[in-house]
Structure 1
């Protein structure tokens, strides 16, 4: 019987240790990214294929800073309020003649999609990480 008591005591100790962890308040959300790494040319043309990265993301209600980025070049963030829910987050890089059209969308079922975009070039041909970020402000 004593071994059973020891097992029950061990289980109770583990449960007691887990309960405070589950009850701990959530910390502030961290910045989320939707990125892709691609070989880009400094001289794109409109006949080249568009590249996109898409992901599903569940967000809390609140204010966010939303940006688009390529390499170390980050556009000024767009402040945006988003309601809680699951969104389809898409970011694309569409070659034009001599530059790229970079755009990102957030689409939640039952809501109008939000969009942000810019025209951007790369200083030299090479491998770049590009995409978008959402930085919660709460």
Structure 2
């Protein structure tokens, strides 16, 4: 198997897709994110398509401007276990659902989790 230096690396593509999703969720334009990060909107376009790799310092600035932890922009490189699914980016609405869940009180989380288990058919016998 040979390495194609011109091919877009799947991780670079994923990071770009996450930047785009978080930018859109934050209601920012490419120009606004570019200004916050210190690059042009054209550069943001290239990052979002995975054409250009994002340096660590630029990624950190982008995460800060988007109000998310840097890890949220990376794929889960470890295979999911125990039926876990990666919500962020892999399932439509995953980012919004995760944000809402994080904003809830512990009691609200417990109630929502029980409702979700009922919908999924995985409710614990009680």
- Which bin holds the TM-score, normalised by the shorter protein? under 0.3
Q: Which structure is larger by alpha-carbon Rg, 1 or 2?
A: 1
Give the TM-score, by structure 1 length.
0.20
In terms of fraction of residues, the more helix-rich structure is 2
TM superposition score normalised by structure 2: 0.21
Higher relative contact order (CA 8 A, sep 6+): 1
- Between Structure 1 and Structure 2, the one with more strand by share is 1
